[in-house]
Amino acid sequence: MGETKNRFKVYNPGHNEEFKKKDLFEKGDDYVQTYDEKELHGPQITDKDGELLDVHDSFYITTKSLLVLFQIMGIMPIMRVTKEEQTTRRTTFNWISKATLWAYIVWGLECIIVFKVGRERLENFQRSSNKRFDEVIYNIIFLSILIPHFLLPIASWRHGPQVAIFKDMWTHYQLKYLKITGTPIVFPNLYVLTWGLCIFSWAISFAVILSQHYLQDDFELWHSFAYYHIIAMLDGFCSLWYINCNAFGTASKGLAQNLHKALESDNPALKLAQYRHLWVDLSHMMQQLGRAYSNMYGIYCMVIFFTSTISLYGALTEILEHGLSYKEMGLFVIVGYCMTLLYIICNEAYHASRKVGHEFQVRLLNVNLGKIDRSTQREVEMFLVAIAKNPPIMNLDGFTNINRELFTANISFMSTYLIVLMQFKLTLLRQSARKAIRAAGRAIFNTSGTPVDEYYDDDEEE
């Protein structure tokens, strides 16, 4: 029990409370309240609340289907403790649990087909050394899509303890929210939405991969079995991000709507202080989401950027040389799919940060300070300070912030690299044209070729 409390203290620092006490001491007026530390932080959650945590964990109940899907696919083998266990830790991760052992088996079996397809792609890539540059690039595209599978143990499983902490934070937050506000957090349509996203993830996977089989000449049908679970995994992580961002917005909206209850209560200052702690917990959960899945989403973004850039380059160069064909359409499908995933992740993170941060801040600023007492006014000020000091940012453990700016920056980088690649392509085209003209000149004049060679040598030097 003591170990659990210390763990959560890391993600819920009390520096705002220290600032408040210091400010009150300096004021030295009748504002000073005799708040009890336990009352200020709200009801304490103990091991005896284990059953209550399960009963009121609406977020887990409505999103359980996605968690089970991740367990079946071996993506994130976290487990839920039984309801009978009297502990505040409701989600756990263990390297030798049943879910983890199952993940080892699934990942090992998938490695067989992925390794076989990857080796064939690599051999084709090596044989393409004397072929056109575009054909070499084409093989790289489908090799890059296989990378997330081999990095799964490092990027996902290794952060299992952090994911379990994140899940427990959601579980504890909902019970604490209920005890302080008197109303539970309701996630409308989240149950149906989660089930729909689970099915849609695999449907999109089959649609994207089968489209490559029919649109690409050398994409054999048996190759597709190495890609289905990888694309479904990427879709699943996108769904997970969307669901969590949606839940953050719902929780923030519910807390904002309950503000009037705090202001109309018998002790509005104390109630508002408890709401402040609830909001800080919500902000820390958003930060913990990025920390728990930092490696997975970091690799996710890099694979999307690399694959999109190379696919778009391959499509444009093929169109320049041979016009639009089924092959280019297949590459455009990959580009559209990758950019859609990235946009959803960046856009949902932006909306979640805005709802929890800016919109909640605006509601506090609209409070009529003239109708509340001095202590409540100070609590409103402290609430605004807490929002400023704990910005609800979706950050991948310090690597990057996930927001709309990341999407626009990604497009900007893609444009830069495409310009460089297209310049390289135009250089190759000019060299090919010179060789063709030189061969034609030799055939027409039927000479030794010396004057023609000298002419084109001078032209190349220019």
Using one digit for the tens of pLDDT, what is the confidence trace for 28-46? 333 434 455 556 666 677 7
Tell me what pLDDT residue 166 has. 93
Confidence of residue 443 (pLDDT cuts 50, 70, 90): low
More confident residue, 374 or 452: 374
Q: Match 């719902």 to its residue by tokens.
A: 250
Q: Select from 179, 158, 193, 171 the least CA-distant residue to 91.
A: 171
Confidence of residue 315 (pLDDT cuts 50, 70, 90): confident
Of residues 348 and 420, more confidence is placed in 348
Q: Report the C-alpha gap between 266 and 3 in whole angstroms.
A: 36
Kindly tell me if the per-residue pLDDT of 375 is higher than 70: yes
Q: Give the pLDDT band of residue 336 (cuts 50, 70, 90).
A: very high
**CB-neighbour burial class of residue 84 (10 A; exposed 0-12, middle 13-18, buried 19+):** exposed
Share of the chain above pLDDT 70, in %: 82
pLDDT digits (tens, 9 = 90+) for 146-205: 999 998 998 889 999 999 999 999 999 999 999 888 889 989 889 999 999 999 999 999
Q: What is the pLDDT, as a whole number, of residue 131?
A: 59
Secondary structure of residue 80 in the 3-state scheme: strand
DSSP H helical segments within 128-227, as ranges?
A: 133-150, 152-155, 160-181, 190-215
Give yes or no for residue 101 having a pLDDT over 90.
yes
| Backbone phi, psi, residue 29, to 5° | -110, -165
Model pLDDT, residue 301: 87
Q: Tokens in use for 352?
A: 């979640």
pLDDT at residue 41, as a whole number? 60
What confidence score (pLDDT) does residue 39 get? Answer: 61
Highest mean pLDDT among 22-26, 44-48, 219-223, 431-435: 219-223
Yes or no: say if 271 and 262 are a contact pair by the CB < 8 Å rule: yes
User: Is 77:71 a contact under the CB 8 Å cutoff?
Assistant: yes
- Which pLDDT score, from 0 to 100, does residue 462 have? 44
- How far apart are alpha carbons 24 and 37 in whole angstroms? 15
Tokens representing 347 are 């856009």
Domain ranges of the chain: 39-402
Cα-Cα-Cα-Cα dihedral sign, residues 361, 362, 364, 365: positive
Average pLDDT, the chain: 81
Residue 243: pLDDT band (50, 70, 90) is: very high
Q: Helix %, strand %, coil % for the chain, to 5?
A: 80, 0, 20
pLDDT at 377: 86
Q: Whose CA is closest to 172, among 357, 40, 5, 14?
A: 5
Output the pLDDT for position 259.
84
Asked if residues 59 and 92 have their Cβ atoms less than 8 Å apart, the reply is no
Measured CA angle at 134 (ends 129, 136), to 5 deg: 35
Which helix (DSSP H) or strand (DSSP E) does residue 302 occupy?
helix 294-322
Cα separation of 273 and 268, whole Å? 8
DSSP reduced 3-state for 91: strand
Distance CA 445, CA 382 (A): 89
Residue of 159, 299, 293, 311 lying closest to 239 (CA atoms): 293
* Assigned token pair, 73: 């696919």
Rounded CA-CA distance 247/66 in Å is 14
Which of the four pLDDT bands, split at 50, 70 and 90, describes residue 16?
very low
- In total, the chain counts a number of residues equal to 462
* DSSP state letters, 219-243: --GGGGGGTHHHHHHHHHHHHHHHH
Give how far Cα 445 sits from Cα of 324, 433, 450, 456, Å: 37, 18, 11, 15
Range of lowest pLDDT (50-59, 91-100, 282-291) = 50-59
For position 135, what pLDDT does the model report?
65
Can you give the pTM of this predicted structure?
A: 0.82
Mean per-residue pLDDT for 342-349?
93
Torsion of CA 259, 261, 267, 272, to 10 degrees: -20
CA 110/CA 249 separation, integer angstroms = 37
Residue 21 predicted with pLDDT over 50: no
Q: How far apart are CA 324 and CA 304, in angstroms?
A: 24
User: Are the CB atoms for 331 and 311 separated by under 8 Å?
Assistant: yes
pLDDT of residue 251: 92
- pLDDT for residue 337: 92
Quick check: 139 and 126 in contact, CB under 8 A?
no
Taking 80 as the threshold, does the pLDDT of residue 430 lie above it?
no
